[in-house]
Amino acid sequence: MPSEKQQEHKDNLTQDAEEIQPDPEVTEQGEEIKEDLDQLLDEIDEILEEDSEEFVENYIQRGGQ
């Protein structure tokens, strides 16, 4: 059961969503950022594709200064 406070918060959110119309420019920007981020995450997937466990385990240096 959501607490009273959470419920109230939720109501506010729904109300806001009904009243505020999306600004197309902002939406576009937001989508661009999301696309960039998705692309970045995909690139990270690629980098991590190699066996991370083995790589990390083998990354042993001798102590330096």
Residues that bind other proteins (CB under 8 A): 36-37, 39-41, 43-45, 47-48, 50-53, 55-65
Gap between the Cα atoms of 40 and 58, Å rounded:
26
Which CB, 7 or 52, lies closer to other proteins? 52
Gap between the Cα atoms of 34 and 25, Å rounded:
14
Which CB, 17 or 60, lies closer to other proteins? 60
Q: What are phi and psi of 27, to 5 degrees?
A: -60, -45
Q: Least CB distance from residue 45 to other proteins, whole Å?
A: 8
3-state class (DSSP) for residue 21? coil
Which CB, 2 or 64, lies closer to other proteins? 64
